[in-house]
Amino acid sequence: MKIKQAFQFLSYRILYAITYTASLLPIKLLYAISYFTFIIAYYVIRYRKEVVIQNIARSFPDKRYGEIQAISKKFYSCFTAYFAEIIKAVSAPVEILDKKITFENLELIDQYINSGKNVIACMGHCGNWEILNFLPYKTEYEIYAIYKPLQSETINRLMIRIRSRFGMELIKDRSVVRHILSKKISPSVYLFLTDQCPRINEEKYRFNLLNQETYIFSGMEKLARTSRSAVIYLHITQKSKGHYQIICMPICSDAGFVDEGEITKKYIDLLTENIKEEPYGWLWKHKRWKR
């Protein structure tokens, strides 16, 4: 066991060293590498291309095939570019990132925190959602990101290191309930990616998302109601290549006074608006409607 742990630690250190070294390259060179990756993924390997086309076509039945193809192509182009941006953020000066990542209506978080409420910030896989790692730099509050550990311990440790550079604290999905309910002193912000396909289908959390009956992860709302947290939506859009805007949008000020399902319904409405505003930005490659 110790040999395995030592090997994993060594692998992680080597991988982080490679990633950090790569992050020192000019962003234009990293974008060039990402463009080459896009060519391979889209034209040669055709990585999950059928899944992407099918998801987009079903989500936008009014669009012609040419429009669907254009969204698909831009999705692959942006998705590969995100990796270049994530790598560059490993060592990029905060002053540079601060110019590229803008937050609007952060006062909403201040308002809820000052009233003694924890804030649950939900979002979708829109744009380069990894840029939210920069949020702790913009606020004075503790920011926690809820995550599901990856199967590879080496990759998992690398992602934790990258995501925590600016003070983000990560909590395993199975530990968040105990954490938020036991933390009675200072209110904090908890980030949830809520558009994954849930393991258990609950009829109360079945909604219409992009013209399709969709089961939604219920844990976010249940935790918000139990902890009587405020809930916001983080609307992520790409204003230009490498430049992002995140807008804090209110869902409710106290989840304890909201009817069951209402928070998730509002989340779905805001997520739908986010996707329609920037359809190529959502993570189309997953089999979201496989159940």
Q: Please report, for the chain, the start and end positions of each structural domain, with discontinuous segments joined by +.
A: 2-281
pLDDT digit string (tens) for 133-169?
A: 999 999 989 999 998 888 888 999 999 999 999 999 9
* Single pTM value for the model: 0.93
- Read off the pLDDT of each residue in 213-224 and give the average, rounded to a whole number: 91
- pLDDT number for residue 174: 86
Q: 22 versus 150: which is more confidently predicted?
A: 22
- pLDDT number for residue 45: 95
Structure tokens of 141?
A: 């509050």
Look-up of token digits 């601060």: 98
pLDDT digit string (tens) for 71-105?
A: 999 999 999 999 999 999 999 999 999 999 999 99
> pLDDT tier at 199 (50, 70, 90 boundaries)?
confident
Q: Which of 145, 131, 133, 128 is nearest to 278 (CA)?
A: 128
Q: Which residues, at least 6 apart from 73, have a Cβ–Cβ distance to it below 8 Å?
A: 42
The span from the CA of 89 to the CA of 97, in Å, is: 8
- Pairing of β 189-193 and β 119-123: parallel
Look-up of token digits 């189309």: 284
Decide: residue 10, CB within 10 A, 0-12 exposed, 13-18 middle, 19+ buried: exposed
- The string over 205-228, giving b where at least 16 C-beta atoms fall within 10 Å of a residue's C-beta and e elsewhere, is bebebbeeebbbbbbbbbbbbebe
CA distances from 257 to 35, 112, 122, 261 (A): 48, 15, 18, 12
The span from the CA of 85 to the CA of 130, in Å, is: 9
- Read off the pLDDT of each residue in 16-41 and give the average, rounded to a whole number: 97
CA distances from 4 to 10, 84, 150, 154, 158 (A): 10, 31, 17, 11, 17
- The runs of H, that is alpha helices, within 101-218 are 107-114, 135-138, 153-163, 176-182
Instruction: Kindly tell me if the per-residue pLDDT of 109 is higher than 80.
Output: yes
- pLDDT number for residue 220: 93
| H or E element at residue 9 | helix 2-23
- Read off the pLDDT of each residue in 224-232 and give the average, rounded to a whole number: 95
The span from the CA of 120 to the CA of 252, in Å, is: 10
Instruction: Kindly tell me if the per-residue pLDDT of 110 is higher than 90.
Output: yes
- pLDDT number for residue 41: 96
The span from the CA of 153 to the CA of 158, in Å, is: 9
